[in-house]
Amino acid sequence: MAAAFTAQMSRGRGRWRLYVVLLNTCAAWPERDLGGRTVVPTVQERSRALNALDYALTEEARWEWTEDSETPNDPSSPVLLIASVTVREAAW
């Protein structure tokens, strides 16, 4: 069975970006810029971005959303949404 990783997508500085979290390594995390629009990229767009990074959604994958704040411990801070999903390295 292929190793599972977590991919995350967030919007910062007006741009959506998707990245794969690689723990226990000094390697740069694979990342893809999804553009500077206000709407959330579709599931299909996210899947294509993951494929471009040589990752794919697992069969049971389901995107989950978490709310954070741009400024920690400041309840008046703008909300930062982070989506996460389980992925595996693509086997093309």
pLDDT in tens, the chain (92 residues): 678 999 999 998 889 999 999 999 899 999 999 998 889 999 999 999 999 999 999 999 999 999 998 888 999 998 889 999 999 999 86
- Give the residue from 13, 49, 55 showing the smallest Cα distance to 33: 49
Sequence ranges of the domains in the chain: 4-89
Output the pLDDT for position 9: 97
- Give the residue from 32, 35, 33 showing the smallest Cα distance to 87: 32
Q: Which residues of 44-67 are buried (b: 16+ CB within 10 A; e: fewer)?
A: ebbbebbeebebbbeeebeeeeee
Residue 52, φ and ψ in degrees, nearest 5: -65, -25
Residue with structure tokens 């595996």?
88
Q: Is 41 exposed, middle or buried (0-12, 13-18, 19+ CB in 10 A)?
A: buried
pTM above 0.75, yes or no: yes
